[in-house]
Structure 1
Amino acid sequence: MNILSSFLNKVRKEFVIAVLVLFGLMTTNVFAINVTVSIPPLAGMIAPILGADDRIDILLKPGASPHGFQLKPSNLRTLQQADFVVWLDTPVDQWLTKSVHNLKSNQLAMNSLPGLKTLPVREGGLWDKSAHHHENEDHENEEHEHEIHANQPDGHLWMSYENSVELIKAFSRILQKNYPERASEFQSNTQAWLIKLQLADEKVKQKLSTVKNEPYMVLHDAFQYFEHRYQLNGVGSIQLNPSVAPSLKRVQSLRQKIKNSEIRCV
């Protein structure tokens, strides 16, 4: 009898433990949040706000170019399963526009934030008073691209410290509204993250202050907001359209301009 009683007690104890573990797993899954972002920088901005059990899926893998990217069936499934979709809504991730509009999940478009600060798109070549006049070579392609982007802001919004802060605050507010039981967690995470960003911003500003007057040229003009924030002396870009390689004639022309303008870095 004692053996049977001992056995039953052991079974009951193991059953209770199993139920508690299962309940704990169920509770965790109920409050876990699935977020899908278009590009890696957006994941880096919002990840510190979320908890350890929350998940972020990135459509464009690190190192891949957003220009010419097309969604795969697996990407569409990821979008359908997301609780939130965070994207730029600029030419950088325009491949997401149609799919996002068909989703029922919550969406946050960085380009729609009320406090956003944007800069106009710059043309290829050297950014001086003559930069608005195209060279004879590649004239037709440049004119076409100019017409397309003339009225559009620079889409690399995440390169701005101020814009990044606006996105972080907006996403935090959305999380607190939709998950009030976790509001204090999101508030605490957001405050800690913004403090770290501010310290990093001050550190970067200090480090770059010694080279901010040095003229340099980039392959693709993706750093305008960064230059503006830290007062760097970017003087031009080689590419006008990142999806189209510059012609040999254009490269030779830019090479001569680089020599004449004493550009220190490319």
Structure 2
Amino acid sequence: MIPKTALALVFGATAAGAQAPQVAVDIAPVHALVAQVMQGVGAPELIVPPGASPHGYALQPLQMRSLSQADAVIWVGPALTPWLDAPLDVLASDASQLVLMDAPQMLKLKVREGAGFHGRDPGDGVEEVGTDAALPDATAGNIDPHAWLAPENAALWMLEIAVVLGALDPDNALTYEENARDGAAALAGLTSEVNAILEPVRSRPFVVSHDAFQYFERSFHMPAIAALSGGDGQDPDLVGAAQIREVIQTAGATCVLSEPQLDSGLADAVGAARMGVADPLGATLDPGPALYGDLLRGLATALAACLRN
């Protein structure tokens, strides 16, 4: 007897060959989640190419074409890519849109302020349920949009993605749903794997160069003590750098977790002894279904190596 999942994939692939929905996605980690949901049916298009910053990007003709042809656009939201909001109104006005930061029941964290976070509970500022509209103080300006780094959000988003795609493509709705549920279930194993990588260094203090990692920090109980620049990527001024240097010296932190596209000289300016390079976007990874898991493993491995004596 052929399992139901196998039958769904066979018939889903047949239907997709005729008319798979065209789906445009903003960043590589979200693209990976959508690609998992669409396996056996089709493949999404990536808007922000690997290595580019989502905080500021100029759309190229190829991406404009992808948006204009899209049946659905799936993106984190204007808090991460404010420059994408207006082009969507023009290029993808007829497409279904899924703004992932509006998903109900997702974990939301407020933007952290000040030079240092040391002494705070990693759960401080958490908004665990509701959409932006349902939270009076949860506006695009004070909610951290790097929410894909929490695997619990990734699991919820895959289910939301399946609903949107199933409405567009009823013939493959069962495939989308089963792929989403399988992907969400696999994240439990990924979480255990990442926790095992981090366990030997869990109590050691570290600093991040760009405050993009707090969802990862909270999910895996590894709170940073400070950030050299805010979540929007703006560098601190001289006063801020001096405050961060004091926080680092007081806590005895030796590791700064930086990103490939950022200036490593900023870490030198605040007196960090060791630099680890971690990428919250997967710039060096091949886009596709496997990228999300590889991304979280890579973050954990880079942080553990930086903190290891």
Fold-level similarity (TM above 0.5): yes
1:176-187 paired onto structure 2 within 5 Å: 176-187=166-177
Partner amino acid, structure 1, of 2:103: L
Per-residue deviation, 1:53: 5.3
**8 Å contact from structure 1 (residues 124, 239) kept in 2:** no
Is it true that 1:37 corresponds to 2:25 in the alignment? yes
Per-residue deviation, 1:86: 0.4
**8 Å contact from structure 2 (residues 55, 82) kept in 1:** no
Cα distance in 2 for residues equivalent to 1:68 and 1:175: 28
- Counterpart of 2:152 in structure 1 is 162
**8 Å contact from structure 2 (residues 166, 172) kept in 1:** yes
- Counterpart of 1:240 in structure 2 is 230
Deviation string 1:150-195 (CA, Å, 9 cap, x unpaired) is: 9521111111112111110011112222222112222332232222
- Work out which of the residue numbers 73, 76, 80 in structure 2 matches 1:85: 73
**8 Å contact from structure 1 (residues 227, 234) kept in 2:** yes
- Structure 1 residue ranges without an equivalent (≥5): 1-25, 131-148
- Counterpart of 2:64 in structure 1 is 76
- Quote the sequence identity (%): 28
- Counterpart of 2:52 in structure 1 is 64
Partner amino acid, structure 1, of 2:26: S
Cα distance in 2 for residues equivalent to 1:172 and 1:53: 12
Cα distance in 2 for residues equivalent to 1:208 and 1:243: 26
Partner amino acid, structure 2, of 1:180: P
From the superposition, tell whether residues 101 and 203 of structure 1 become closer, same or farther in structure 2 (CA, over 3 Å): same
- Counterpart of 1:190 in structure 2 is 180
- Structure 2 residue ranges without an equivalent (≥5): 1-13, 121-138, 257-309
**8 Å contact from structure 1 (residues 121, 150) kept in 2:** no
Q: State the aligned residue count.
A: 224
**8 Å contact from structure 1 (residues 212, 233) kept in 2:** no
- Work out which of the residue numbers 181, 184, 190 in structure 2 matches 1:200: 190
Larger RCO (alpha carbons 8 Å, 6+ apart): 2
Cα distance in 2 for residues equivalent to 1:252 and 1:27: 60
Cα distance in 1 for residues equivalent to 2:143 and 2:118: 19
From the superposition, tell whether residues 193 and 255 of structure 1 become closer, same or farther in structure 2 (CA, over 3 Å): same
Cα distance in 1 for residues equivalent to 2:159 and 2:117: 33
Q: Which has the higher helix share?
A: 1
Provide TM-score, normalisation by structure 2.
0.65
From the superposition, tell whether residues 51 and 33 of structure 1 become closer, same or farther in structure 2 (CA, over 3 Å): farther
Greater Rg by CA? 1
- Work out which of the residue numbers 98, 105, 109 in structure 2 matches 1:115: 105
The DSSP-based 3-state class of the residue aligned with 2:33 is helix
